[in-house]
């Protein structure tokens, strides 16, 4: 099944002189129509991403001449770049190692508690790093359960496992955060793969493994590449995980940009580092799109249910059981400490700190509703929750509205698409600090009238979230759209369906699942985002992550407990949000 390449419709003009009208028609079909799907995204990204970014980089590079960057800065830049690539490579490898079997598990097997387990893997993606670091510390830190248990068991003096502030902590946290990307992108594709291809290979004498290696895996290459690229870029621009779990001995480009731009105020160096990070992102995106255009294969997607089966042989049982254990250990254990701490009062007997007694309490939740000192910036939990949800819904709608046309265009790429494609990934490579400063110098002047400048508008938060969510939305829609064979549409057209009707009966059922996946991505990106939000949000409308950080910035047991209670609320509500989106039966989608 080779795919048909898309050509702009040929002009059916007569030979010889063309009329003005034909010229105009040619212009429209050659240039205007192909660029139409790009209109929204181009305007949006130019205005809210490329322009502010260009301004701040230009300012940084002009601020002082580049002579301010000496040999030592060059060495620093090189070291940081090397470490950034190194940890991102290792993290992505590990994430794929765990994510691919997990994707297989979810796409092929039916077992009890499956949707709950899938939900469990999705929640980390929107948890703020401070909270995740607290979770990992409660589990694996020097006074975590595991170390305390081992110390008591073997009568050790010091904790046997050194986890926090090692490279392993960074890698594990990255796996914890990003496995859901692999599960969502690859699992979604795997679930809808036409099982007849594998069956045909089996009929022709290939054994199970051979059929998998020669048929299924090659078909999955585009989604695997998409997932790998997204995971890699997320690890590549990692900030909070590096600071909180890696400690001060490790620095990625993103961390160094923050230090140089904010603390040291060395803007030229910060600009150079930002440029390097952007360039790397661009190079990876170009590499990706080169590979992916070569390997796209269209298939007739199937309903997910037709690929599902119950666990039968002992081998399958071993696989499913092992994966369940692994996923539970990886996801449930670090997260469990948050809800636990939100209802438990830790009372260590004086002196014997290892022996900690628990007392159950609802105080932290009750305290959330109390504005103890009448603070102007106090926000009741439901209001923070409402803010978060409103921002998330606007982000989902905005990023789908902008991403859909582009993803459709990318599914049958012309010259324009091939050129613009890599640039779509750039927002993932821009540092929040750089972009935040870019926003300030670009939008600090009032918009139109003197009353409202965009920089103080609450609208800025969903706009910033959309910039980050857009690459996810486009990349998760694109493979699904590209997988639809043209012959189906042609068949519909032959049977007399209008283009719109054909789209609704052919494309939409296949695309709707991917739309849900994209919506969940946008939803979770928005709910968990902290870096950009803290720079642009209005103090009257804080999001849940912002509220969590507020509690953690002051000493006192109540503040800590409230942060954990807030984090638990974030987990529960976003979990319910994801379930709700997954359960949505979009109209006309049948069993897809």
Partner 1 sequence: MKNFFFLTILVTLVLAACAPEGPATLTVMTHDSFAVSADVVMAFEQANNVKVTFIKSGDAGEALNKAIFSKDAPLADIFYGVDNTFLSRALEAGIYESYASPLLANIPTEFQLDPQHRALPVDYGDVCINYDKAYFTDHNLAVPQLLEDLTRPEYKGLLVVENPATSSPGLAFLLATVKHFGADGYLDYWRSLRANGVVVVDGWETAYYTNFSASSGHGPQPMVVSYASSPAAEVVYAETQLTESPTASILGPDTCFRQIEFVGISAGTQKRALAEKFVDFILGVLFQEDMPLQMFMSPVNLNANLPEAFVKYAPAAEQPAAISPDLIAANRDRWIANWMEVVLR
Q: In Å, how far are 153, 193, 310 from 109, measured between CA atoms?
A: 39, 14, 6
Q: What residues between 24 and 43 interact with partner 1 by CB under 8 A?
A: 40
Task: Output the six-digit token pair for 132.
Answer: 């995740």
Residue 159 or 575 with smaller CB distance to partner 1: 159
Q: Which is nearer to partner 1, 47 or 282 (CB)?
A: 47
Residue closer to partner 1 by CB (options 209, 373) is: 373
Structure tokens at 91: 């993290």
**Shortest distance in whole angstroms from residue 167 CB to partner 1:** 15
Q: How far is CA 551 from CA 258, 379, 388, 443, 546, in A?
A: 23, 11, 17, 30, 9
Q: Which stretch binds partner 1 (CB under 8 A): 302-310, 323-331, 496-504, 546-554?
A: 546-554
How far apart CA 371 and CA 310 sit, in angstroms, is 52
Q: Is 424 in the site for partner 1 (CB under 8 A)?
A: no
Among 321, 362, 557, 588, binds partner 1 (CB under 8 A): 557
As a whole number of angstroms, the longest Cα–Cα distance in the chain is 97
Identify whether the C-beta of residue 400 lies closer than 8 Å to the C-beta of residue 496. Answer: no
For partner 1, the closer CB: 23 or 540: 540
Q: Virtual CA dihedral for 398, 399, 404, 405, nearest 10 degrees?
A: 70
Q: Note whether 319 and 100 are within 8 A (CB).
A: no
Question: Minimum distance from CB of 271 to partner 1 (Å)?
Answer: 13
Binders of partner 1 among residues 177 to 236 (CB under 8 A) are none
Q: What's the full length of the chain, in residues?
A: 592
Please count the CA atoms within 13 angstroms of the CA of 351 that sit on its side-chain side. Answer: 0
Please select the residue that binds partner 1; options are 16, 155, 374, 496, rule is CB under 8 A.
Answer: 374
Shortest CB 285 distance to partner 1, Å: 24
| Residue 119 or 379 with smaller CB distance to partner 1 | 379
Query: Interface with partner 1 includes 71 (CB under 8 A)?
Result: no
Radius of gyration of the chain (CA): 26
Count of residues of this chain found to bind partner 1 when the rule CB under 8 A is applied: 85
Strand, helix or coil for residue 358 = strand
Query: Is residue 265 a contact point for partner 1 (CB under 8 A)?
Result: yes
Contacts with partner 1 in 164-183 (CB under 8 A)?
A: 164-165
Helices 460-482 and 167-191 pack at an angle, to 10 degrees, of 50
At residue 370, the 3 state secondary structure works out as: coil
The interface with partner 1 within residues 497-536 (CB under 8 A) comprises: 534-536
Q: Quick one: CA dihedral 455, 456, 459, 461, positive or negative?
A: positive
- H or E segment and range at residue 142: none
Q: Which stretch binds partner 1 (CB under 8 A): 224-232, 241-249, 498-506, 565-573?
A: 241-249
322 or 359: CB nearest partner 1: 359
Q: Taking contact as CB under 8 A, which single stretch among the options 180-188, 275-283, 453-461, 481-489 is the one that binds partner 1?
A: 453-461
Q: Which position among 75, 208, 210, 353 is part of the footprint of partner 1 (CB under 8 A)?
A: 353
Q: Work out which of 61, 146, 440, 493 binds partner 1, going by CB under 8 A.
A: 440
Indicate which single residue of 181, 343, 437, 484 sits in contact with partner 1 (rule: CB under 8 A): 437
Task: Tell me the closest approach of the beta carbon of residue 373 to partner 1, in angstroms.
Answer: 5
Q: Are 474 and 407 in contact (CB under 8 A)?
A: yes
Distance CA 245, CA 173 (A): 8
Q: Is 339 in the site for partner 1 (CB under 8 A)?
A: no
44 binds partner 1 (CB under 8 A): yes
Q: Does 373 bind partner 1 (CB under 8 A)?
A: yes
By beta-carbon proximity to partner 1, the closer residue of 92 and 399 is 399
Q: Which of 22, 42, 298, 457 binds partner 1 (CB under 8 A)?
A: 457
Among 7, 12, 21, 249, binds partner 1 (CB under 8 A): 249
Q: What is the DSSP letter of 141?
A: S
3-class secondary structure per residue, 233-294:
HHHHCCCHHHHHHHCCCCCCHHHHHHHHHHHHCCHHHHHHHHHHHHHHHHHHHHHHHHHHHH
402 forms part of the interface with partner 1 (CB under 8 A): yes
Best CA proximity match to 169, nearest among 209, 211, 119, 135: 135
For the record, the structure tokens of 113 come out as: 């508690």
Q: Does 456 bind partner 1 (CB under 8 A)?
A: yes
Residue 227 contacts residue 92 (beta carbons within 8 Å): no
> Applying CB under 8 A, which of residues 327, 550, 565, 571 lies at the interface with partner 1?
550
Among 351, 496, 587, 590, the residue binding partner 1 under the rule CB under 8 A is: 351
Judged by CB under 8 A, the chain residues 102 through 161 that form the site for partner 1 are: 130, 133-134, 137, 141-143, 159
Least distance (Å) between residue 391 CB and partner 1 = 13
């Amino acid at each position: 099944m080779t795919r048909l390449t898309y050509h702009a419709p040929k002009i059916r003009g007569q030979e010889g002189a063309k009329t003005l009208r034909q010229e105009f028609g040619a212009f429209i079909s050659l240039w205007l129509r192909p660029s139409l799907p790009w209109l929204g995204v181009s305007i949006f990204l130019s205005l809210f991403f490329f322009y502010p970014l260009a301004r701040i980089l230009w300012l940084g590079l002009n601020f002082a001449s580049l002579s301010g960057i000496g040999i030592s800065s060059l060495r620093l830049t090189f070291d940081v770049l090397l470490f950034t690539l190194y940890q991102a490579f290792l993290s992505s490898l590990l994430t794929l190692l765990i994510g691919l079997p997990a994707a297989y598990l979810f796409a092929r097997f039916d077992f009890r508690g499956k949707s709950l387990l899938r939900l469990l893997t999705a929640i980390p993606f929107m948890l703020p790093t401070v909270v995740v670091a607290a979770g990992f510390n409660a589990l694996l830190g020097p006074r975590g359960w595991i170390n305390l248990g081992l110390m008591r068991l073997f009568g050790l003096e010091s904790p046997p496992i050194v986890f926090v502030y090692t490279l392993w902590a960074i890698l594990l946290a990255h796996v914890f955060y990003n496995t859901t990307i692999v599960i969502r992108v690859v699992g979604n594709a795997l679930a809808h793969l036409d099982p007849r291809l594998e069956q045909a290979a089996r009929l022709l004498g290939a054994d199970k493994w051979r059929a998998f290696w020669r048929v299924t895996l090659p078909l999955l290459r585009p989604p695997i590449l998409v997932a790998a690229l997204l995971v890699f870029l997320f690890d590549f621009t990692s900030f909070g995980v590096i600071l909180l779990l890696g400690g001060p001995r490790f620095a990625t480009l993103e961390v160094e940009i923050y230090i140089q731009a904010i603390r040291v105020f060395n803007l030229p160096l910060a600009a150079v580092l930002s440029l390097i990070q952007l360039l790397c992102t661009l190079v990876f995106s170009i590499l990706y799109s080169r590979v992916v255009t070569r390997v796209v294969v269209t298939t007739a997607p199937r309903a997910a249910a037709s690929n599902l089966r119950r666990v039968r042989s002992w081998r399958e049982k071993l696989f499913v059981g092992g994966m369940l254990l692994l996923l539970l250990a990886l996801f449930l254990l670090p997260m469990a400490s948050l809800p636990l701490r939100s209802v438990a009062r830790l009372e260590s007997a004086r002196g014997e700190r290892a022996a900690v007694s628990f007392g159950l309490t609802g105080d932290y939740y009750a305290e959330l509703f109390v504005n103890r000192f009448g603070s102007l910036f106090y926000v009741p939990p439901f209001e923070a929750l409402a803010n978060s949800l409103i921002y998330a819904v606007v982000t989902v709608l905005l990023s789908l509205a902008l991403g859909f046309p582009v993803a459709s265009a990318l599914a049958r790429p012309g010259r324009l698409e091939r050129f613009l494609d890599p640039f779509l990934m750039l927002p993932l490579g821009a540092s929040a600090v750089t972009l935040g400063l870019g926003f300030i110098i670009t939008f600090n002047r009032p918009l139109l009238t003197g009353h409202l400048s965009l920089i103080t508008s609450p609208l800025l938060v969903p706009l910033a979230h959309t910039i980050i969510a857009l690459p996810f939305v486009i990349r998760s829609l694109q493979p699904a759209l590209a997988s639809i064979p043209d012959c189906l549409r042609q068949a519909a057209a032959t049977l007399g369906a209008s283009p719109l009707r054909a789209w609704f009966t052919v494309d939409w059922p296949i695309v709707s699942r991917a739309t849900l996946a994209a919506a969940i991505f946008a939803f979770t990106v928005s709910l968990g985002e902290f870096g950009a939000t803290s720079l642009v949000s209005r103090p009257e409308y804080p999001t849940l992550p912002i509220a969590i950080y507020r509690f953690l910035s002051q000493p006192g047991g109540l503040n800590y407990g409230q942060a954990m209670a807030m984090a638990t609320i974030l987990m529960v509500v976003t979990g319910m949000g994801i379930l709700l989106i997954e359960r949505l039966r979009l109209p006309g989608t049948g069993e897809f």
